[in-house]
Structure 1
Amino acid sequence: MPRPLRFAAFVMNTTSHITHGAWRLPEARQTDFNSLEHWVSLAVELDRGGFDFVFFADVVGLYADHRGSWEKFVESGLQIPSNDPSVIVSALAHATENLGIAITSSILQEHPFNFARKISTLDHATRGRIAWNIVTSLSANAWRNFGYDDITPHDERYAWAEEYVDVVYKLWEGSWEDDALPQDKVRGVHGEFDRVHKIHHVGKRYRVEGPHLVAPSPQRTPLLFQAGSSPAGRRFAARNAEAQFISSPSPDAARDLIADTRGLVAEAGRHPDDLTFFQGLSFVIGSTEQEARRRSAELDEYIDDDTMVAHAAGSIGVDLGHYDLDTPVGEVESEGSRSSLRWLREAVPDREPTVRDLARLRSRNSRVVGTPEQIADVLGRWRDAGVGGINVINYTIPGSYREFIEHVLPQLRQRGLAAPEPEPGTARRKLTGRDRLDDRHPAAAYRGAFGR
């Protein structure tokens, strides 16, 4: 039997994340992002409603300038201000029972030794419900914030990422043996010295002696997410990721991308099904199709197309504000993320897409409009294409998720497209049925590798 889809609430600790301008809707509460209660109450609602994950996107710098300035970002709230999501994870975990909590962290922003320690601590605190979205930072401003002259070239960033994950795998999987912490009061032995190991990593960018300072957490290595559709990004995901976010324009396009990527997973020595694909979609729901379409048209009145263009510029790494809207995107390629250009060409297969297409499709192409029954039909087609999860993009918080829980999830459960009830266990167990990485994953090679 096909497995039920998994659902992640795609959010960011900011006001304007993806659908720019929607924060102005009267019922929207995105401007409450500074409030811990705002996020705790959302997490509780998602947990009780049957969502599998709350997924926090993040950035550590501004996107590329828009018309020569970053004024537009501040003016429209385009991911600035933006708070660190990892700081609030413990509070969300304490308030929930089953919800997986995924955070984004770049190889740029934190040394792998300290990052591994933080994630292990969070995995303990969440009882194994932590996940990591691995990113390489496509913003030149982010790189300058951390002392670099400019962004590192695309493929070199992924080579860097390979060493970064190699270090954290060694710490998470190889530094401590499972029985290394007996905490035996009778013998007076808290830890077994010969079962805790230094890793002595020496690479191009990092020298890490170890040992890992945190004993093994429920998952050891967190559940691993990754996004990006460039050749280098897909190879990285095939080797390392357990879940990959995609933005395909249709189920047919997703089917082709998934089949090709599964081939890369097999080439990396893993089983093709070791990678689960999450499609990003947003939903406008109505009791009738006419009502849904009316609500969608009302939403369009709030969407800020100029800010959508400014955000798109950040994905490409150039100032699109200086381009005519009918400029072909092939004339504006850069060292930024190539994922948006691949997605855009899939979405407009019969001609060269333009800057205008980029702005419009980012706000409308992922949108599913209809009754709960019609939406369930659409999601069934995505699952048939090989998609294993849906990254639910919001227009309003908490409204978008509340409506999905109340109106769509019951229909999905009736069809076996969603789990019948919230499922307990670790983040990894939700996707794979296991708490820890399987032996095919490259991190598994470090189990027992550093013993005497």
Structure 2
Amino acid sequence: MTREIRFNAFDMNCIGHIQQGLWTHPRDRSMDYNSLAYWTDYARRLEAGLFDGIFLADVVGIYDVLSGSPAPALRGAVQVPVNDPMMLVPAMASVTRHLGFGVTANLTYEQPFLFARRMATLDHLTGGRMGWNIVTGYLDSAARAIGLDGQMAHDDRYDLADEYMEVVYKLWEASWEDQAVVADRQAQVYADASKVHPVHHHGRQYKVDAYHLCEPSPQRTPVLYQAGSSPRGRQFAATHAECVFVNGQKKDGVREIVTDIRARAETLGRHGDDIKVFLGATIVTGRTEKEARDKFEDYRRYVSSEAALTHAAASMGIDFDKFDMDEPVETGKSQAITSNIKAMDRAAGPAWTKRKLIEQMVLGSRQQPLVASADQVVEWLVDWVEQTGVDGFNLSRTVVPECFDDMIELVVPRLQERGLYKTEYREGPLREKLFGQPRLTERHTASTHRRRQP
């Protein structure tokens, strides 16, 4: 029997996220991204639809690979302007009780001590609904923005990330014991100092001698998301991630990634079901297939091919302006998202051209949309879960808010009728909703940093 299917809304604190150009559609509201009312309304809609969470992507550089200039990104609002995603969370949390928040933060450019405090604060303010999408970056412009000449090599960034995780685990899991907070008004003692401990970490990249500044939050460590599909990224996911975000157009490829990550996790003493996998999906739906097709044809009139190439160029690390339309693209050795290049190789063959890439981006991204009636969408979702082992879907926005309204109004009830989607939220923090307990299990590497009771 197919297990319960989970949904995250996949978005970003910007105008143009994945489907480039659709912000120009007359019904799209994403230009209101600077308004808190936009985001609180968004959160209420998603919670009414019993979504597990909103997954907020982020970048800390500008897309300047195409033509060697930021101009195409600025013209097309290709993830610029982009605001801090963490600032949205308290506002959205204040109007919801259950919706989870997966926020992308680039550890390459964040000091672990201050980052650990920020995430613990958000976990407190949301009542334990925080998740962290762990990324190491892929933009040279982000490296230059903080004074570096360029990025570290792809696999070296993961080595840095492993040490970073060790530091934040120590801060979140080891500094304050569970019994440290006594809150005794009469004795005028808030915390038992003997149960609050300094963290000493002297490693290759980081040196920290400090007490974690926050008392234990509901989850201590936020739910850990990760999206790397390269061999090094998969090993990192198997070690650290609880939720893995994958993209792919073919079931065999996705199933191989899912199986491999879970198998790697088991060699580390974890269980395969300690990791939930979310597949990126773009869905255009309606009551009938014709209604969905008409909507899709309407949407594609607003697609920007230049903006789509701008995004693809940055994520692949390739300046497509250097190639003619039918000239094979030389991928070279990229330090960007290497799995994106491999995905394009699988989709169009190793000698793919700029024309083939543009043909792939029918709604402004390389993610092929599913255009189908609500009943057909349900069958598609079920088939992917059964054939690949994914647990749910990160649903990319097209025209907001109607893309999510359509899923909530048309698809969710059909899933519920078949017992494939929750009819109410489980109580408790985000990790408890996903895994049945609020804290990381003893099988997770973070547990090695916990203080054992005598």
TM-score by length of 2: 0.95
Q: Indicate if the aligned counterparts of 2:224 and 2:243 stay in contact, CA closer than 8 A.
A: yes
For 1:297 and 1:178, the matched residues in 2 are separated by: 56
Identity of aligned residues (%): 41
- Please state if 1:310 is matched with 2:310: yes
* Aligned with 2:369 (options 363, 367, 372): 367
* Aligned with 1:400 (options 385, 400, 403): 403
1:35-73 C-alpha deviation (Å, 9 max, x unpaired): 111001100111112111011100100124212311001
1:108-144 C-alpha deviation (Å, 9 max, x unpaired): 2320000000100110000000100000010000001
Which segment drifts farther, 13-22 or 261-270?
A: 261-270
Aligned to 2:429: 426
Aligned to 2:414: 411
Aligned to 1:57: 57
1:305-349 C-alpha deviation (Å, 9 max, x unpaired): 12111100111112122222334455344111102012223334x
For 2:383 and 2:219, the matched residues in 1 are separated by: 32
For 2:329 and 2:172, the matched residues in 1 are separated by: 42
For 1:284 and 1:389, the matched residues in 2 are separated by: 17
For 1:404 and 1:343, the matched residues in 2 are separated by: 27
Aligned to 1:446: 449
Q: Indicate if the aligned counterparts of 2:287 and 2:373 stay in contact, CA closer than 8 A.
A: yes
For 2:326 and 2:441, the matched residues in 1 are separated by: 48
Which segment drifts farther, 111-120 or 421-430?
A: 421-430
Which segment drifts farther, 331-340 or 242-251?
A: 331-340
Which segment drifts farther, 2-11 or 171-180?
A: 2-11
TM-score by length of 1: 0.96
Q: Indicate if the aligned counterparts of 2:64 and 2:71 stay in contact, CA closer than 8 A.
A: no
* Aligned with 1:377 (options 376, 379, 382): 379
- State the shift of 1:381 in Å: 0.7
Q: Indicate if the aligned counterparts of 2:328 and 2:351 stay in contact, CA closer than 8 A.
A: yes
The 5 Å alignment of 1:209-224 reads: 209-224=209-224
Unmatched segments (≥5 aa) in structure 1? none
- State the shift of 1:358 in Å: 3.3
- State the shift of 1:303 in Å: 1.1
- Quick one: which amino acid aligns to residue 443 of structure 2? R
- State the shift of 1:105 in Å: 0.3
1:366-406 C-alpha deviation (Å, 9 max, x unpaired): 31111110000000011102010100111112111111101
- State the shift of 1:26 in Å: 0.9
SS of residue paired to 2:131 = strand
For 2:79 and 2:334, the matched residues in 1 are separated by: 22
Figure out how many residues of one structure are paired with residues of the other and give that number: 450
For 1:124 and 1:8, the matched residues in 2 are separated by: 21
1:76-116 C-alpha deviation (Å, 9 max, x unpaired): 11111100011121111111110001111001232000000
- State the shift of 1:156 in Å: 0.5
- Please state if 1:354 is matched with 2:357: no
Q: Indicate if the aligned counterparts of 1:64 and 1:318 stay in contact, CA closer than 8 A.
A: no
For 1:80 and 1:358, the matched residues in 2 are separated by: 22
Q: Indicate if the aligned counterparts of 1:47 and 1:422 stay in contact, CA closer than 8 A.
A: no
For 1:184 and 1:203, the matched residues in 2 are separated by: 38
- Quick one: which amino acid aligns to residue 104 of structure 1? T
Aligned to 1:331: 331
- State the shift of 1:256 in Å: 2.0
For 1:280 and 1:166, the matched residues in 2 are separated by: 29
Unmatched segments (≥5 aa) in structure 2? none
SS of residue paired to 1:101 = strand
- Quick one: which amino acid aligns to residue 373 of structure 2? T
The 5 Å alignment of 1:216-295 reads: 216-295=216-295
- State the shift of 1:421 in Å: 2.4
Q: Indicate if the aligned counterparts of 2:21 and 2:302 stay in contact, CA closer than 8 A.
A: yes
Aligned to 1:71: 71
For 1:360 and 1:277, the matched residues in 2 are separated by: 28
Which segment drifts farther, 409-418 or 109-118?
A: 409-418
* Aligned with 1:387 (options 365, 387, 390): 390
Q: Indicate if the aligned counterparts of 2:108 and 2:157 stay in contact, CA closer than 8 A.
A: no
- State the shift of 1:229 in Å: 1.0
For 1:60 and 1:379, the matched residues in 2 are separated by: 33
Q: Indicate if the aligned counterparts of 1:49 and 1:422 stay in contact, CA closer than 8 A.
A: no
SS of residue paired to 1:331 = coil
**Alignment RMSD (CA, Å):** 1.7
Aligned to 1:35: 35
For 2:183 and 2:131, the matched residues in 1 are separated by: 28
- Quick one: which amino acid aligns to residue 397 of structure 1? V
